[in-house]
Amino acid sequence: MSLANQRDFRDTLLLPFEQELIAPPSSRWLALNLQVLPSSNVDWKTCLDGEQNLRSVHLDLEQHGYRAQPAFDIQTGYEGGLVLLGRSRALNELNLTRAWNALRPKGTLVVAGDKKGGVAALRKWVAKQASIEGSLSKHHAITFWAKREGEEWSVPATVKTVDGYDIPLGGFSTNGPDTGSRLLANHFDNRIRGRVADFGAGWGYLTMQLMEKSTHIAHVDLYEVDWNSVDAIDPNVSKITAAQPKTVPFKTHWCDLTREAPSGPYDWIIMNPPFHTSRAADPGLGQKFITAAASALPSGGRLLMVANRTLPYEAELQRQFRRTQMLEDRGGFKVLEAVR
């Protein structure tokens, strides 16, 4: 087990197996939103078919010897399925449905999540469609399980369309372009040219705006940590390129820029960097994005970014870049430009 003061919902997930309330796997199990699990009597690394859409967590799984894919078409007939809940209610419901439908009759669905993350509400949601066999609470988390019976559950759409944009469940800005990105896009024009990178590209909004507002783009590389968002980039950006007189080539990268180096060199980098991996703000994320941008820009290369007004990025920009300036401060956001 992990150290007591570090135990979380992953430890809670394993409790019914440790207490022999659920039999250990005798064949393959499915695991959605798989994360590195605490040590136990079950060798989970050898019996799980795992899926993890976040590149950052996927790298951790690889380092610990797990087999996982960013996404796959699930086959049926699994003996059991683990669903580790994340922050998005819609994505959690999708994963619960996919796991349930993949189970063979009497197969076991095991679910775990933090109490503050809405696991109790999702337990009620499952209980409306299946009989909950058991539930345990520990480490500020809840795990519950049910046996597969009855018909398949109706699978919700994985993508929704908002103002013509295809937006995946669970990613950033799921209700359409966010305020910060719109503010940043107001500063796109023909000054931005050559080879461009979009850091933290999401489902492609900033690149789409850039291609509409600048006729001097030679190529765009889009870097995004969420595979589901990466998967949505191509249909979104392709709509723009198809409408332009000049086709702008682009390439997507499933990448964790805080741990993996971008290609480069680029003439310009645009970004609306993330500032949290949990509910608490983490300015260190944006600072790592700034460092990654500095490494991918040659002398004279430019970074154009937007950030929440309260995030302390100016000192890092001044340290990594020759010249910086604030272009706009409005609605709680600031637009910053820096020259390498």
Cβ atoms of residues 266 and 278 within 8 Å: no
Q: Per-residue pLDDT for 243 more than 90?
A: no
At 281, the pLDDT band (50, 70, 90 cuts) reads: low
Q: What is the mean pLDDT of residues 254-278?
A: 90
Q: What is the pLDDT of residues 166-180, one digit of tens each?
A: 999 998 888 899 999
DSSP-assigned beta bridge partners for residue 136: 143
Dihedral over alpha carbons 194, 335, 209, 196 (to 10 degrees): 20
Tens of pLDDT along 6-22? 789 999 999 999 999 99
